[in-house]
Structure 1
């Protein structure tokens, strides 16, 4: 009964993980998540067949389904998903798909039709105890391919990271590798009552890797950023001072909500309004410029140019409509570097920049663009001198 309970629990967790991976793949589609979804589905089918085998004794059909899911489809598609996740070379990913097709169709047909030796029990059966030499060779070759694909995925991440600290994608690949190794060990050795326990670990590792891969990765500039200084009071409600508003004319225009009705752009009372000479109606005295500029250089993954440009066009429109203190916000392509995008922004002052970074559309842009970007470089600027045409802002930021 212990084996039956563990087998049932592992199958239930496998189906739950399959549903979760389907949700991840729908929310943020990618080929890697589709591969991990197929792997989770294969494990769920194989472990469900093992439940019947644990209750009624294993037979030829339940043994075949169990081995196809646990020994073949599960680890093979885990490793292929790792390659799609970690390798940016289109040639390398195309080669992995060719090997995947070959090592999926042929071994699956052989495992379905090749004869098996009987005398099963109720515990997880070992692969070599019931299959002949040809199925053992084919599945052994698939396991070698799993190892090669996992190594290629890790090498791909290490080559593009270029940093001294560990790349966060290595955690995802480590969990995928753990899930594949546990599945291979259980399929080849059975391990009796330990088999369902190890399969629980395999399913949990795959589930965790998919969850980490699906979570939005913050841009590099936020990793080391200090929290905002809250010592100076500010008002984040809807009221504004009636005094001078630092010199722009459209301060009274209402802001429109972004995406969801309940989310509204952040509006705060400005600190330090520009001084005005009340005695002579003279213009404000000349002070050092408080303008702030930020240049962000994005390096895109191959094939992600169109998706990133659509996201960038959306945030440019939102900034133009809802951020009067963002004086300039433009996204540039680089003709001689098609995988690079440069976003150039000029803010009225540091407070305007903080307000921009807290806007809902800015946070959503960071989340959506993470899947298209492999590296981000940020350059912060303080204006020391400038000359520009009167119509430049109107051309770049129409309102």
Structure 2
């Protein structure tokens, strides 16, 4: 049994050392208070586990017992609780008070534990010794007081994180996740040090506490880092929440969302300004959700569900979803993965300027100062999420459709299919028409019907965004010669 406990202790010491190294590396880029506190706790757990392993192999003595008690019973639970205070507090006074308390207790208690003589030091064996059987009155009561404060801090952190999570954002969810892992580990660690727990279970609790620190730092506190460009957006709850609150106060549409009338110290903006400001939205996770988030420019409501199931001449051709009016074919099975390189399809007509005076009449080049796009221009942006393995087939179909549009639709100003570098299974089709009549003509074309029908088996989801053109410059796209 002694060999087994020693092996577990040494493995836990290695795990705690890795966690401490990860914390130190992160501290160089993000010197947060909770990282500093948990680094101290991880180092203390590493030393304590190493001493447990040595004690079970060679026997415990005065030095090994004091180091084990100093790191495992005093420093580890103390700095776990201090780390939670630094994580949850958004104001300086609680953080500063926590620093003063932790530093004072660490120095004072360490001196007392090191200097105080032990009781029954000659009766130690290879089994893990309990503190109550070897400490004098002052060290024992000092550790008891520190443990009581630690338990209260850990329980208060759990309650505070839960209350804030109920009405908070994703950062409060991360904080609750961290507290739910750290607080039980710290309380269990204190219980193992206060009561007579078998050495193998005490050692296992030390290992669990070290693993909890590593898990909290590497996983739940930074779940939004999708790529290297977002590394600098790691958790900083206080500055982000303050910036978000300032941004919401500066938006003219905040008053429209408020449940009660709010007094305005400054005159209200003109009525035409409020509709133009985009509505404030909560921060969302990066990835697919941001790319297909629904948004419609303009000030009129559109029933997209009804339009997607209507006949072709009653809605945008890119607005049909799978299993719609035309029916969706079954998903392709056992299709090998294709190369998801960006399609180079697109059609822009040199003679189809964005400025017009009639439905189908091109106007000569505008003079400086008269470059306002025609209000009749009609635009759409459609985001397709493809099924796995259908990228190449969709690109070929899109190229054929664009070529047909280029040959037979002079009133289609822009018709381009884009790939998305960060999302290989997404395609974005951008359409711009001289007016809505041209768009209806486009819908009735045979190649558009073919594009609509054949893409059903390739598309998993479709999102349509209707556009108003406020300003534009369109020139022919460069093409590659083969």
Distance in 2 between residues matched to 1:228 and 1:276, nearest whole Å: 34
Distance in 1 between residues matched to 2:128 and 2:111, nearest whole Å: 22
Q: Structure 2 residue aligned with 1:194, among 190, 195, 201? A: 201
Indicate conservation of the 8 Å contact 1:24/1:214, yes or no.
no
Residue 128 (str. 1) matches residue 132 (str. 2): yes
Distance in 2 between residues matched to 1:356 and 1:244, nearest whole Å: 26
- Give, in angstroms, the shift of residue 66 of structure 1: 0.6
Indicate conservation of the 8 Å contact 2:158/2:183, yes or no.
no
Which residue does the alignment assign to 1:140?
A: 144
Q: Structure 1 residue aligned with 2:284, among 207, 221, 224? A: 221
Most deviating of 185-194 and 45-54: 185-194
Question: Which structure 2 residues correspond to residues 67-216 of structure 1 after superposition, within 5 A?
Answer: 67-117=69-119, 118=121, 119-158=123-162, 160-163=164-167, 167-189=173-195, 190-216=197-223
- Give, in angstroms, the shift of residue 49 of structure 1: 1.5
Indicate conservation of the 8 Å contact 2:161/2:179, yes or no.
no
- Give, in angstroms, the shift of residue 72 of structure 1: 0.7
**Cα gap change, 1:238/1:82 in structure 2, threshold over 3 Å: closer, same or farther?**
same
Distance in 1 between residues matched to 2:153 and 2:77, nearest whole Å: 11
TM-score between the two structures when normalised by the length of structure 2: 0.50
Most deviating of 53-62 and 191-200: 191-200
**Cα gap change, 1:6/1:236 in structure 2, threshold over 3 Å: closer, same or farther?**
closer
- State the aligned residue count: 285
**Cα gap change, 1:384/1:140 in structure 2, threshold over 3 Å: closer, same or farther?**
farther
Which residue does the alignment assign to 1:319?
A: none
**Cα gap change, 1:113/1:60 in structure 2, threshold over 3 Å: closer, same or farther?**
same
Which residue does the alignment assign to 2:363?
A: 282
**Cα gap change, 1:98/1:120 in structure 2, threshold over 3 Å: closer, same or farther?**
same
Which residue does the alignment assign to 1:31?
A: 33
Indicate conservation of the 8 Å contact 1:60/1:116, yes or no.
yes
Residue 54 (str. 1) matches residue 56 (str. 2): yes
- Give, in angstroms, the shift of residue 92 of structure 1: 1.3
- Give, in angstroms, the shift of residue 152 of structure 1: 4.0
- Give, in angstroms, the shift of residue 8 of structure 1: 2.1
Indicate conservation of the 8 Å contact 2:41/2:75, yes or no.
yes
Residue 241 (str. 1) matches residue 346 (str. 2): yes
Which residue does the alignment assign to 2:406?
A: none
- Give, in angstroms, the shift of residue 244 of structure 1: 4.7
Which residue does the alignment assign to 2:412?
A: none
**Cα gap change, 1:276/1:29 in structure 2, threshold over 3 Å: closer, same or farther?**
farther
Distance in 1 between residues matched to 2:106 and 2:94, nearest whole Å: 18
**Cα gap change, 1:237/1:154 in structure 2, threshold over 3 Å: closer, same or farther?**
same
Distance in 1 between residues matched to 2:467 and 2:421, nearest whole Å: 18
Distance in 1 between residues matched to 2:218 and 2:176, nearest whole Å: 14
Secondary structure in structure 2 of the residue aligned to 1:167: helix
Distance in 1 between residues matched to 2:116 and 2:223, nearest whole Å: 45
CA radius of gyration, larger in: 2
**Cα gap change, 1:382/1:28 in structure 2, threshold over 3 Å: closer, same or farther?**
farther
Distance in 2 between residues matched to 1:40 and 1:188, nearest whole Å: 20
- Give, in angstroms, the shift of residue 74 of structure 1: 0.5
RMSD: 4.6
Most deviating of 171-180 and 8-17: 8-17
Q: Could you say which structure has the greater relative contact order, defined with CA pairs below 8 angstroms and 6 or more residues apart?
A: 1
Most deviating of 203-212 and 160-169: 160-169
Distance in 1 between residues matched to 2:159 and 2:221, nearest whole Å: 21
Distance in 2 between residues matched to 1:30 and 1:164, nearest whole Å: 21
**Cα gap change, 1:167/1:42 in structure 2, threshold over 3 Å: closer, same or farther?**
same
